[in-house]
Amino acid sequence: MTEFRPGRFEILPVIIKNLLIINGLFYLAQQTFPESPTANFSLEDLFALHAWQSDLFKPWQLITHMFMHGDFYHILGNMFALWMFGSVLENLWGSARFLTFYMVCGLGAAFIHLLFLSYELTPLIEDFQAREKLGIINEAVAFKYNQIINTATLGASGAVFGILAAFVYLFPNTYIYLYFFVPVKAKWVGLIYFAFEIYSAVQNAAGDNVARWAHVGGAIVGLIIVVTWNKTNKKTFH
């Protein structure tokens, strides 16, 4: 299959519609109760994903972080990609299978992100604990440590990258119009974008607050799932 030619195609299928609504409601709640040092509670502390070494980590964050976003452009970009590529997949697979795919990609992205985050935080944690035993931790060091260890990760990007990977695999020669004018085949967009994310993740540049390994993880999980389904269900994929 090289190009998507819909027969009966829903522009806004049911799961996509509900995901857009849920993400919108979460974002509205974030704007209604913004982060503040004087607030009685923090939505990010409760629902965004935290490192499992953090006291703020809760199991439900593996799911809830997918419905929270940092700002308007963050949610706009994710929801546009979710609708643009996800609608095609939901029409192709049906609602139940698409929802399963979306959630598994999001969970897989979260686990992979946490693994790499744990690897990055381990030296910091060991150094802090060693200093603590020696009694040489001052207030400024403790504040900086807690700030790093409690950094929140949020957004649907991991699941969306899984959707993008599946779309590129199934429809590699379908044209995507960059900036709405420049036609580029999906396979080239996917390969370049994935290569950029891998490069950025490995570089781990200072000041880059994007969860690159979540993006990479979501894409890998999505690709594994769609390749597996493609082998086991020839009636669905052609």
pLDDT > 70? residue 237: no
How many structural domains is the chain composed of?
A: 1
The pLDDT value recorded for residue 179 is 66
In this prediction, residues 49-61 reach a mean pLDDT of 94
In this prediction, residues 5-20 reach a mean pLDDT of 80
pLDDT > 60? residue 238: no
The pLDDT value recorded for residue 38 is 64
DSSP the chain: --S---SS--SS-HHHHHHHHHHHHHHHHHHHS---TT-S--HHHHHSB--TTSTT--TTHHHHGGG--SSHHHHHHHHHHHHHHHHHHHHHH-HHHHHHHHHHHHHHHHHHHHHHHHHHHHHHHHHHHHHHHHT---HHHHHHHHHHHT--B--SHHHHHHHHHHHHHH-TTSEEEETTTEEEEHHHHHHHHHHHHHHHHHH--TT--S-HHHHHHHHHHHHHHHHHHHHH-TTT--
Query: What average pLDDT does the structure give for the chain?
Result: 87
Candidate from 6-20, 58-72, 86-100 with smallest mean pLDDT: 6-20
pLDDT > 90? residue 64: yes
pLDDT > 70? residue 7: no
Would 20 be classed as within a structural domain? Answer: yes
pLDDT > 70? residue 69: yes
Would 120 be classed as within a structural domain? Answer: yes
Contact 168, 189 (CB under 8 A): yes
Would 2 be classed as within a structural domain? Answer: no
Q: What is the pLDDT of residues 118-137, one digit of tens each?
A: 998 999 999 888 888 888 88
More confident position, 6 or 139: 139
The pLDDT value recorded for residue 206 is 52
Would 67 be classed as within a structural domain? Answer: yes
* CATH number for 88: 1.20.1540.10
Would 186 be classed as within a structural domain? Answer: yes
The pLDDT value recorded for residue 205 is 61
The pLDDT value recorded for residue 103 is 97
Would 1 be classed as within a structural domain? Answer: no
**Whole-model pTM?**
0.87
pLDDT > 60? residue 6: no
Domain holding 221, by residue range, is 14-30+41-232
Measure the CA angle with vertex 165, ends 106 and 86; round to 5°.
70
pLDDT > 70? residue 8: no
Would 107 be classed as within a structural domain? Answer: yes
In this prediction, residues 211-229 reach a mean pLDDT of 93
Measure the CA angle with vertex 2, ends 191 and 226; round to 5°.
65
Question: Cα 99 from chain centroid?
Answer: 15
Would 50 be classed as within a structural domain? Answer: yes
- To which residue do tokens 């995901």 refer? 19
